[in-house]
Amino acid sequence: MAAADPTFRVRKGRIRQSIMGWTYHPMPVPELARLCRDIGLVAMEGVGPEHYPLIRDLGLEIALVGSHGFSKGPFSPANREPVVSKLREGIELAVKSGSKRVITFTGMREVGITDEAGARNCVEAWKEIMPFAESQGIDLCLEHLNSRDLGHPMKGHPGYFGDDVDLCARLIRQVDSPRMKLLFDFYHVQVMHGDVVRRYRALQPLIGHLHVAGVPGRGELDSTQELNYPALMRAVADSGYSGFVAQEFLPTWPDRALALRHAAAVCDV
């Protein structure tokens, strides 16, 4: 295990850090929320809305609100109505909770639907909900996911249509709304493409949210993984990005609280 400071608290704050709460299950969300506050994270996401009042009471923001999930997305026209409905619910919840972002996904490829047709289906579904998102001042953030890691259901997503970050960018541009954004996950981009700093800089005008995790394995941001996160976070801070950066690693250290504290320190550049 890499050396970590058990007393660390965010000091610089140039990176506004959040956490994807599902990664720390089964730690109770209230315990995780208090840990985030103590470390100096400023937001949470990926937890049930029943926890939002406590999170807000602790002085944390809701960085990102969930919606329809990554499996059954708008790639298939059969999913269009439920996807649009879930996005509407997510937008309404975001407004109620003071968040500014709702996550969306392309969904999985399906037999009988070409990539060209699936891309059109995605764009049409997002265009349908976009006037409502715009009227409420909410960004929809399309997450790019890797389809290469087959070792764990949450480390990779074989069959996911939006596994090319440049394809995701093209879909976003076709929606043609300032409220349609890219969720750029450094872990997924590294697994699929590499060259992450250059890709981040090229796509930065489209980016509405960021996720981080170690590569390979989606573990801690420590010396066992290949990405140089201090350099990546300096590139983010220097770019003028003002959104959130969410920790989304799967903890493997025996002391999971220390793992989060260490990751926060790595990103506090």
Percent of the chain at pLDDT exceeding 70: 99
Q: What are the tokens at 137?
A: 């001042």
Least confident of 9-13, 55-59, 148-152: 148-152
pTM of the model: 0.97
pLDDT digits (tens, 9 = 90+) for 207-264: 999 999 999 999 999 999 999 999 999 999 999 999 999 999 999 999 999 999 999 9
Residue 177's pLDDT is 98
Whole-number pLDDT of residue 1: 43
- CA 28 to CA 46: how far, in whole Å? 13
Q: Which domains are present in the chain?
A: 16-267 (3.20.20.150)
CA 87 centroid distance within chain = 16
Tell whether the model's pLDDT for residue 2 goes beyond 60.
no
Buried b vs exposed e over 97-107: b needs ≥16 C-beta within 10 Å?
bebbbbbbbbb
Long-range contacts of 33-39 (CB under 8 A, 24+ apart): 33/58, 33/60, 34/58, 35/257, 35/260, 36/60, 36/260, 38/9, 39/8, 39/9, 39/10, 39/260, 39/261, 39/264
Query: Could you tell me the pLDDT band of residue 16, with boundaries at 50, 70 and 90?
Result: very high
pLDDT tens by residue, 50-81: 999 999 999 999 999 999 999 999 999 999 99
- Per-residue model confidence (pLDDT) at position 3: 76
Task: Report how far apart the first and last C-alpha atoms of the chain are (Å, whole number).
Answer: 21
Strands, E assignment, 106-179? 139-143
- Average pLDDT on 85-96 reads 98
pLDDT band at 154 (very low <50, low <70, confident <90, very high): very high
CA–CA gap between residue 236 and residue 211 (Å, rounded):
12
Q: Rounded to an integer, what distance in angstroms lies between the CA atom of residue 239 and that of residue 196?
A: 14
- Tracing tokens 């937890």 back to the chain, one arrives at 47
Burial degree of 213 (CB within 10 A; 0-12, 13-18, 19+): buried
Check residue 144 and report its DSSP letter: P
The encoded tokens of residue 11 equal: 């000091």
Residue 122 has pLDDT above 90, yes or no: yes
Q: What is the mean pLDDT of residues 93-98?
A: 98
Residue 15 identity:
I
Instruction: Give the model's confidence band at 151: pLDDT under 50 very low, under 70 low, under 90 confident, else very high.
Output: confident
Measure Cα distances from 162 to 73, 101, 148 in Å: 10, 19, 12
